[in-house]
Structure 1
């Protein structure tokens, strides 16, 4: 069994195919510059859509293309707060009524944490 093993070959380490007759895709170098001043080039296909930004390999910040290609301006949605979402479901008048009702229940000791409840006075009839 030991005679059948491949000697000197690592698994996935190298290909035994040669590169004769293979035509590589046309390539181009695309330059980028990050805010830290690092300049770097990325090799891409000539058919590829060139992105306006690329992550800098040295510092990780976004580098802008040196070819003058500007990134697309995306319209920003306004931030929706919890209050905005609440107002989509209820009016201010409804919220005021609910608040008043809940405060009355809390003050009456019917809801809320046990340590806030006041002991109820018992009236005994004699």
Structure 2
């Protein structure tokens, strides 16, 4: 096994290809400012759609772009609760009938014990 070991080469995604003749994609740097005062830049492709917010590398809070570009606010749907979904399937009189049935069953089961 020792004769097959690669000496001086770490295992992983290292490549021995030469970068000569390779054209890299055009890039642009975009600066962000964190609400806690951190400033950092992120490199993007020229073709990429640029985000308006990015997670701060130091503290994890959402940083905004330094150039002042603000994205449009997304319309968020209100959270549907269990009650909302139940009301889509049943009317109030139906729910009252079901409640009465279940209360009757519960009271009858208490008498048995």
What TM-score do you get using the length of structure 1 for normalisation?
A: 0.72
The alignment of Structure 1 onto Structure 2 pairs a total of residues equal to 112
- CA RMSD in angstroms comes to 2.4
Any stretches of 5+ residues in structure 1 without a counterpart? 120-126
Shift in Å, 1:41: 0.6
Shift in Å, 1:91: 1.0
Which residue of structure 1 aligns with residue 97 of structure 2?
A: 97
Shift in Å, 1:31: 0.2
Shift in Å, 1:103: 2.1
Shift in Å, 1:71: 2.5
Higher helix fraction (1 or 2)? 2
Shift in Å, 1:13: 6.3
Change (3 A) 1:96 1:26: same
Shift in Å, 1:118: 4.9
Superposition pairs for residues 16-95 of structure 1, below 5 Å? 16-95=16-95
Deviates more, 1:74-83 or 1:14-23: 14-23
Deviations for 1:63-87, whole angstroms, at most 9, x for unmatched residues? 1111222123111111211111111
Any stretches of 5+ residues in structure 2 without a counterpart? none
What TM-score do you get using the length of structure 2 for normalisation?
A: 0.79
Pick the structure with greater CA Rg: 1
Secondary structure of 2:94's aligned partner? helix
Moved over 4 A (4+): 4-7
Change (3 A) 1:100 1:9: closer
